[in-house]
Amino acid sequence: MATLTFHGHATCTVTTDDGTRLVIDPFFGDNPATELSVEEVDADFVLVTHGHYDHIADAAALAKRTGATVISTVEVVEFLATQGVENLHGMNIGGARDFPFGRLKMVHAIHGGSVQLEGGAPYTTPCAGFVIQVDGCRLYHAGDTALTLDMQLLKGAVDVALLPIGDNFTMGPEDAARAVEFIEPDRVIPIHYDTWPVIEQDPEAFRELVGDRASVEVLAPGGETTLG
């Protein structure tokens, strides 16, 4: 059974039953929600939803040190190739592929898409979420997104949903609760909140908004849960 470790903000690690490690949106060194440095993290795959700094900051360093394969949009992997990352797999919205850990599908997210790293300005990219089938669990990491009717297409296809609730840059608690209504996951884990004052939120208030539509699991940075 896979496990998920939340590192704060939108960063998490999925560890499969056979020990394969997927790090999603690696943001460690400048992340005020975690004391982990990127040097303390291991990865076999690195998944990047989009190019904003708080989702891609440590992708190149992590991939180069560990030899992990980075999976992201074509534009993001083209940029990371210029940073010396060798193992890369580009995808685009709606595409799916089987990987050693399971099946991954890239789905729509509504958000800005520039690559916010030095030299990244020409690499404007669509933003994505990931639906990952791993060890019998269907995990949806929404990335940074507004509420979108496309989420209705995920109904019946998600067991655990990681949804941003911070507002201002992404959907807030009310829209995230509506997303739960659209998707109908068994469990939802709020992400992308409380990292900075502008996105402070009360996850317990979000739990109240969700009501009996799903089980809300609030993870503190460093918290871990099983997927299954």
- Reported as a single tens digit per residue, the pLDDT across 159-191 is 999 999 999 999 999 999 999 999 999 999 999
> Mind listing the pLDDT tens digit for each residue in 109-131?
998 777 767 787 776 778 999 99
Calculate the alpha carbon distances from 224 to 144, 203, 209 in Å.
Answer: 21, 17, 23
Range(s) of the domain holding residue 124:
2-215
> Mind listing the pLDDT tens digit for each residue in 27-73?
999 999 999 999 999 999 999 999 999 999 999 999 999 999 999 99
pLDDT of residue 174: 98
Which H/E stretch holds residue 102? strand 102-108
pLDDT of residue 118: 79
Give the residue carrying structure tokens 């470790």: 5
Cα 4 off chain centre by = 11
pLDDT of residue 106: 98
Q: Please give the tally of structural domains in the chain.
A: 1
Q: Would 159 be classed as within a structural domain?
A: yes
Q: Would 221 be classed as within a structural domain?
A: no
Q: Would 210 be classed as within a structural domain?
A: yes
Q: Would 70 be classed as within a structural domain?
A: yes
Question: 197 by DSSP, 3-state: which?
Answer: helix
How would DSSP label each residue in 33-89? T----GGG---SEEE-S--SHHHHTTHHHHHHHH-PEEEEEHHHHHHHHHTT---EE
CATH code at 123?
3.60.15.10
Q: Where are the alpha helices (DSSP H) in the chain?
A: 53-56, 59-66, 74-82, 173-183, 203-210
Q: Would 101 be classed as within a structural domain?
A: yes
> Mind listing the pLDDT tens digit for each residue in 97-106?
999 999 999 9
Tokens of 199: 């996105």
Q: Would 99 be classed as within a structural domain?
A: yes
pLDDT of residue 223: 97
DSSP for residue 91: E
pLDDT of residue 85: 98
CA distance 171 to 145: 6
Q: Would 222 be classed as within a structural domain?
A: no
Q: Would 223 be classed as within a structural domain?
A: no
Q: Using 50, 70 and 90 to split pLDDT, how confident is the model at 150? A: very high
> Mind listing the pLDDT tens digit for each residue in 189-222?
999 999 999 999 999 999 999 999 999 999 999 9
pTM (two decimals): 0.96
pLDDT of residue 123: 64
Residue type for position 216: V
Contacts of 6 (CB under 8 A, 6+ apart): 12, 189, 191, 219, 220, 221, 222, 223, 224, 225
Contacts of 137 (CB under 8 A, 6+ apart): 1, 2, 159, 160, 227, 228
Calculate the alpha carbon distances from 77 to 31, 123, 147, 185 in Å.
Answer: 22, 9, 26, 30
Q: Greatest CA separation found in the chain?
A: 47
CA distance 194 to 188: 17
Neighbours of 114 (CB within 10 A): 16
Cα 134 off chain centre by = 15
